[in-house]
Amino acid sequence: VFEEVKGVKIEIVGSGPQEDCFRRKAKRFGKKITFHGFVENQDAIHDIVKRWTIGLAPYQPVPSNESYWGDPSKIKVYISVGVPVITTDVSYMASEIKKYHAGIIIDYYNHDEFISAIKTIIKNKNYFRENALRLAKKYDYRKLYQKIFAI
């Protein structure tokens, strides 16, 4: 991606069983990749993410992936701070992202689609950012609570 899209920097929030492997592989890219590790404080996560141009959530389309039925909290964090998303058609949020133009849905196995999505969002950053914020308003808990308690 660094050769195809100049100036890209990657920040990774979170950890997992492959974190050490990813850190070793990323060393050759120097300061272009930053690992924040596990961040417990949600406000700190929002402070990191809101600086981003794009949030990545490329869920692998395999039957055992819990993202098919689980809550896409990562995507919700991204859109809550106006960060457009590149994701796959795994989470139910993919259809919302597509409908609101709050990001781009890609084929998990298609590298060219991934690069094209990055370039498209960078070129139209304000358009996608505004749409991500518009989608986030749909999930604003204050509005949802009013509807729930009005029943």
Span 95-104, pLDDT tens digits: 999 999 999 9
Does the pLDDT at position 108 exceed 80? yes
Whole-angstrom distance, CA of residue 99 vs CA of residue 96 = 5
Question: Given this model, what pLDDT does residue 139 score?
Answer: 77
Q: What single DSSP character describes residue 91?
A: S
Q: What is the pLDDT of residues 134-151, one digit of tens each?
A: 999 987 766 656 666 766
CA distances from 88 to 1, 102, 111, 114, 126 (A): 18, 13, 12, 10, 22
Specify the higher pLDDT residue, 113 or 1. Answer: 113
The dihedral sign for the CA sequence 36, 43, 128, 136: positive
Strand ranges across the sheet with 55-57? 55-57, 85-88, 103-106
The mean pLDDT value for 47-64 works out to 93
